[in-house]
């Protein structure tokens, strides 16, 4: 159950980049992605294209996928990034289309996490890498924030080891970096 069921991001889209500016730097995600890549990069649940914008010179092509049109329009109109409206549970891309996939602060918002994992794995090219940045709910001080977000937005958070297991089941090589004070990174190799 959540208080803002239908696209809660429509309210914050115009000011989203400003709001998260100080809290969500992209350095670590960039390092884990082992860029540059000759292939295409997908930013899934990429919202305003904040992360994709910072990575755009490190891949042949960068695409943001998001279901929120108000968020996506900030990427397409504000930053000139390619945007695709859609759900991560049903990715509108052919298999093995991307050599890199990134998800920042979005996995807990997804509706069906197993289906999302299967779809992300499907569109990742052999030899490719997927990096997920998520708040680390193994940290005691993250738990109350995760609970509140669950109540407000219906978000569902998983411990890093649990997320790693979702991809190991699909045959992935997975590494977890839990060294962040707030975030953990799940690094998935195909
Ligand atoms: C907190 S924002 C993060 C945006 C971006 N990754 C960033 O770090 O700036 C979460 C985004 O995930 C998107 N989202 C949530 N569930 C989704 C789904 N099932 N499919 C696609 N996008 C989704 C939301 O619309 C929102 O733009």
Q: Which residue has the higher pLDDT, 125 or 153?
A: 125
Q: Which domains does the chain have, with CATH numbers?
A: 8-189 (3.40.50.150)
- Per the CB < 8 A criterion, the answer to whether 120 and 88 are in contact is yes
Residue with tokens 């709001």: 19
Token representation of residue 62: 């960068």
pLDDT tens track for 48-95: 999 999 999 999 999 999 999 999 999 888 888 999 999 999 999 999
- Per the CB < 8 A criterion, the answer to whether 98 and 41 are in contact is yes
For a mutational test of ligand 1's pocket, the pick from 14, 67, 78, 150, i.e. the residue with the most ligand atoms closer than 8 A to its C-beta, is: 67
Ligand 1, atom 27, residue with closest C-alpha: 47
> Per the confidence metrics, is the pTM higher than 0.85?
yes
Ligand 1 centroid – CA 99 distance (Å) = 20
Predicted local confidence at residue 5, as pLDDT:
58
CA–CA–CA angle 111, 30, 44 (5° rounding): 20
């Amino acid at each position: 159950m959540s208080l803002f069921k239908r696209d809660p991001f429509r309210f914050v889209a115009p000011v989203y980049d400003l709001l998260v500016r100080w809290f969500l730097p992209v350095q670590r995600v960039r390092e884990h992605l082992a860029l540059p890549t000759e292939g295409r990069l997908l930013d899934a649940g990429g919202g305003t294209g904040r992360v994709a914008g910072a990575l755009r010179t490190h891949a042949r092509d960068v695409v943001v996928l998001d279901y929120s049109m108000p968020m996506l329009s900030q990427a397409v109109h504000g930053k000139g990034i390619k945007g695709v409206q859609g759900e991560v549970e049903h990715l509108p891309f052919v298999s093995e289309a991307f050599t890199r996939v990134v998800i920042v602060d979005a996995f807990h918002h997804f509706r069906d996490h197993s289906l999302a994992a299967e779809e992300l794995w499907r569109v990742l090219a052999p030899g490719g890498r997927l990096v997920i940045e998520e708040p680390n709910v193994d940290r005691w001080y993250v738990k109350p924030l995760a609970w509140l977000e669950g109540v407000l937005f219906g978000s569902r958070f998983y411990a890093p080891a649990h997320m790693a297991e979702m991809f190991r089941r699909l045959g992935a090589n997975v590494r977890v970096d839990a060294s962040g004070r707030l975030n953990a990174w799940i690094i998935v190799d195909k």
